[in-house]
Structure 1
Amino acid sequence: MSHPYVPRDLNLVDYAPNLLSQSTILAAYGLASLFVVSLIRVISGKVPKISKTDRWLMCWWAFTGLTHIILEGYFAFSPEFYKDKSGFYLAEVWKEYSKGDSRYAARDAGVVAVEGITAVLEGPASLLSVYAIATGKSYSYILQFAISLGQLYGTAVYFMTSYLEGDNFAASPYYYNLYYIGANASWVVIPSLIAIRCWKKICAAPQLQGQKKNKVR
């Protein structure tokens, strides 16, 4: 069955079109993300006895944590962002993303709830994961596992509510695939891989502990 691509919510009263171009919005986000990743790579390089995988995980958690807190936090606590006519970057981001999912401009209750919880809980927890990995805290794997499950649950709710409501929130196939599908793919694939890795590490811990006890005896 063909997708209708008839957005329900982009005809809101006082809706202000984007002042920044798509290329400007995406380029700024890309450069900011690259800066964060590069900075964490430099910092993690000074941490002794840390694997390459953990260095990349520090980058991921820093990137996703700041995304949750800054971007999603702004959306959750700025109910009239779609009216902004000043060209403020964060408002421009969400007006642009609303072309792929107009529930954001319409302040859909389910979307606001998911994004609010993500910003308030998962954002700070993600940054805590950076610290936990860098300092070798015992709760590192449990924390990463819990956040990853939270991200997967939030993404599942996000997609399922859209499907149950008709999945007709995109302005075109281009925006549907770029934003609704593409922009959310990372929060399906990467948390899944991290959750699997952490689960294996957590399950292996009792076995390692048992081996140490046997050696002591």
Structure 2
Amino acid sequence: MASILSESLNSSSPLMITNHPYYPLEVEIASYLANEWSMQVLLAIFSAVCATILFGTLTIVNRVHPNLPTSEKATIWWFVLSGAIHLFFEGYFSLNHTRMGPAQDLFGQLWKEYALSDSRYLTSDPFVLCMETVTAFTWGPLCFIVAAFITTSHALRHPLQIIVCVGQIYGLILYYATSMFDHYYKQVTYSRPEFLYFWGYYFFMNFIWMVFPGISSVRTIARAFKALEKAHSTSTSTKVSRNGSAKKQN
């Protein structure tokens, strides 16, 4: 009876495969299948999609808001691209994390290519799953909202831009930190050692969200408060001066 139950459980669970190119080499990946498309094809498609979003966004903004400064147009494009990557690409991972190993659709193969730099994406790692879910369904929609607010000079543009950027940076820091902790304290490495995978995928493709923070919004809000305090100080000084003059006349 026990053997029958054991066989039943084994047959209902996904096949765990260790013969794969991911680090650590002994990690088990459920029902893993190698990508059908090459790395060059996948990166070309991903680059083409990003370029399409770039030119599409700039074309629409130039037609609807031609007088916006170039820096604002670039910021809009960045948030539209970020929102698309967060909501659709990372959202795909959040919803399909249990079937990443055998996936052969475009996003599935792209994630398996990226996972050469971080195999946690193929093992339903709790931290990566939670982090990507928050990023996809919180920061993703907010990126689109910020982009829309920039075009209308909405009063909430700068506070929301700071919130989104701080959230992205915080998630990125934790992403790096958890990987480094496992590497140095548990001697577990998730990235292959090749330059492309560690420095290209793992480091650079994530670090760009650290380089583009909400510093412009911080400066804008700081200038606004400085101007408000200056105006308040001037108004207070004027009232004191008027009251003093009135007392002298009396």
8 Å CA contact retained: 1:10, 1:105:
no
Aligned partner of 2:202: which letter?
Y
Deviation track 1:148-207 (CA, whole Å, cap 9, x = no partner) reads 00000000000000011116101232311221112112111112xxx2211110111133
Q: Structure 2 vs 1, CA of residues 51 and 212 (structure 1 numbering), >3 Å: closer, same or farther? A: farther
Following the alignment from structure 2 to structure 1, what is the Cα–Cα distance between the partners of residues 115 and 24? 9
Following the alignment from structure 1 to structure 2, what is the Cα–Cα distance between the partners of residues 200 and 48? 24
Residue of 123, 133, 138 corresponding to 1:116 = 133
Q: Structure 2 vs 1, CA of residues 91 and 138 (structure 1 numbering), >3 Å: closer, same or farther? A: same
Residue of 174, 189, 201 corresponding to 2:220 = 201
2:154 corresponds to 1:137: yes
8 Å CA contact retained: 2:97, 2:121:
no
Q: Structure 2 vs 1, CA of residues 142 and 199 (structure 1 numbering), >3 Å: closer, same or farther? A: same
Residue of 163, 177, 186 corresponding to 2:199 = 177
Unaligned 5+ residue runs, structure 1? none
Cα distance, 1:10 vs structure 2: 5.2
8 Å CA contact retained: 1:58, 1:133:
yes
Cα distance, 1:119 vs structure 2: 0.3
8 Å CA contact retained: 2:31, 2:102:
no
Following the alignment from structure 1 to structure 2, what is the Cα–Cα distance between the partners of residues 48 and 172? 46
Cα distance, 1:210 vs structure 2: 5.6
Following the alignment from structure 2 to structure 1, what is the Cα–Cα distance between the partners of residues 23 and 96? 25
TM-score by length of 1: 0.88
8 Å CA contact retained: 2:23, 2:116:
no
Residue of 146, 151, 158 corresponding to 2:175 = 158
Following the alignment from structure 2 to structure 1, what is the Cα–Cα distance between the partners of residues 25 and 163? 34
2:208 corresponds to 1:186: yes
Q: Structure 2 vs 1, CA of residues 156 and 133 (structure 1 numbering), >3 Å: closer, same or farther? A: same
**1:77 partner SS:** helix
8 Å CA contact retained: 1:75, 1:81:
no
Larger Rg: 2
Following the alignment from structure 1 to structure 2, what is the Cα–Cα distance between the partners of residues 32 and 83? 24
Aligned partner of 1:145: which letter?
I
Equivalent pairs, count = 208
Greater Cα offset, 159-168 or 9-18: 9-18
Residue of 114, 119, 126 corresponding to 2:143 = 126
Aligned partner of 2:167: which letter?
G
Q: Cα RMSD (Å) of the superposition?
A: 2.1
**2:100 partner SS:** helix
8 Å CA contact retained: 2:162, 2:218:
yes
8 Å CA contact retained: 2:101, 2:122:
no
Aligned partner of 1:67: which letter?
I
Question: Percent identical across equivalent pairs?
Answer: 25
Greater relative CO (CA pairs within 8 A, separation 6+): 1
Cα distance, 1:81 vs structure 2: 3.2
